[in-house]
Structure 1
Amino acid sequence: MATATLPRLAETYQKELRPALSKSLDIKNPHQLPRLEKIVVSMGVGSAISDKKNIEDALSALGEITGQKPLTCRARKSVANFKLRQGMPIGAKVTLRGARMYEFLDRLISLVLPRVRDFRGLSDKAFDGNGNYSLGLSEVLVFPELNPDKYTRSQGMNIAICFSGHSDEKSRELLKAFGFPFHRPDVEA
């Protein structure tokens, strides 16, 4: 029986970041420390109303990026002005947990964000008040897994990183410890 290896970022969290966070946040109980719970990657495909191929492309791209089968999101209401009917597919999402979550975050920090054009760092104000962080990418082709010849239409995505800490400050400290590239106004490019 093969033993499962821990992703690099998960191992770093267990061995180095938890003790450091415990000391910096002055928290003795390890269960009160912030930790990653899940990452939700989603795509809204409004153009799927007129062209069904767009939702299939989005599902395929999301599957290649995350390594997991995406869930199709359907419209809850009918809206006549948008020619939208209840039940029509208009988006896709994937919820990552465990090893896949840490591997995705590692690839996001080390490979994807440096490939974003004119990248000057992420906002440190994109927390929701409960310690969860959200960011959006305007182009999915920054992921090296995707073939630009196959995905010719420009498509964006949203990434929501959910924490257990319920505090923006604790979650911000954990993301900084992971090496998240937050925008620093004192450094000009």
Structure 2
Amino acid sequence: MTPSATVGSGRLTERMTALVGEVRAVVDRGLPPELTAYLVGERLAPRLRESDLLTEDQREGDPDRYRQHLVHAEPDGGFSVVALVWLPGQHTPIHDHVAWCVAGVHEGQESETRYRLVSDGRTAHLVETEHVVAPAGSVAAFAPPGDIHVVRNTGTTIAHSIHIYGADISRLGTSVRRTYRLPADGRK
């Protein structure tokens, strides 16, 4: 399932404008990706669950697939902020990312299954390593490699999450580096 996408309206709430400024200050430090993601996650966490973080347009879903709203892309390409809207049952494909990522659950809950790619030299398969249910207020921060996962809304209500990527999503169109169609744990 691929997201439907909308390009940022150029409108940021006051709270989002403050968050963008704090993320910019972290990114401008030029730290390693893992540390950058961790520090950006610390900036995002206190802003989650605040009703004035997103505009009404950035909260709109799509009945057919999860929806991606580009909220902000830094002019120099250093990072992007995306609001994802998930109706119950919507999910990503199994995928990894082009850059570090921070995901914070703003409303509702998301379920994430993480995988490790295992090769015997001739073939490869995915092995499930962890399953996490993230309620509102939860933050996850990671950097490639080793960021293979699938995200789902297994709840009964709409879920909103804020994702901050260390890449220019306005130019790339996605944060996904690769999707995986290999059987998980050798199952088809």
Shorter-chain TM-score bucket reads under 0.3
TM-score calculated relative to the size of structure 2 = 0.28
- Larger Rg, first or second structure (1 or 2): 1
Higher strand share: 2
